Structure 1
Amino acid sequence: MASKLSVLLLVLCTLTLAQAQLRLFNLRGSKLPANLFGTTDGYVTVFCGEASLGKTSVRTNTVNPWWEEEFTHFQAQENEVLKLEVRDDDLLFDDLLGVCERQLQFGTHQHDCYLKKGGTLHYSYTLG
Structure 2
Amino acid sequence: MATSLPLLLLLLCSLTVAEAQLRLFNLQASDLPSNLLGTTDGYVKVFCGSADLGETSVRNNNPNPWWEEEFTHFKAQQNDILRLEVHDSDILIDDLLGVCQRQIKPGTHEHDCYLKKGGTLHYSYTLGAGHQA
Give 1:8 deviation, angstroms. Answer: 5.5
In the TM superposition, 1:86-101 aligns within 5 A as 86-101=86-101
Matches within 5 A, 1:12-91: 12-91=12-91
CA distance in 2, matches of 1:108, 1:50: 22
Which stretches of structure 1, 4 residues or longer, exceed 3 Å deviation after superposition?
A: 1-11
Give 2:113's aligned residue.
113
The share of aligned pairs that are identical, in percent, is 73
TM-score after normalising by structure 1: 0.92
Paired with 1:6 and 1:24, the residues of 2 have a C-alpha distance of 38
Q: How many aligned residue pairs are there?
A: 128
Q: CA-to-partner distance for each residue in 1:71-127, whole Å, 9 max, x for gaps? A: 000000000100000000000000000000000000000000000000000000000
Q: How far 1:66 moved relative to its partner?
A: 0.1
User: Greater CA deviation, 52-61 or 37-46?
Assistant: 37-46
Which 10-residue stretch deviates more, 19-28 or 32-41?
A: 32-41
Q: SS of the residue aligned with 2:73?
A: strand
Gaps of 5+ in 1: none
**TM-score, normalised by the number of residues in structure 2:** 0.89
What RMSD over aligned residues (CA atoms) do the two structures have, in Å? Answer: 1.7
| Residue segments in structure 2 that go unaligned for 5+ positions in a row | 129-133
Instruction: Report SS of the residue matched to 2:45.
Output: strand
CA distance in 2, matches of 1:26, 1:115: 17
Amino acid at match of 2:52: S
Find the residue that maps to 1:13 and give its secondary structure.
helix
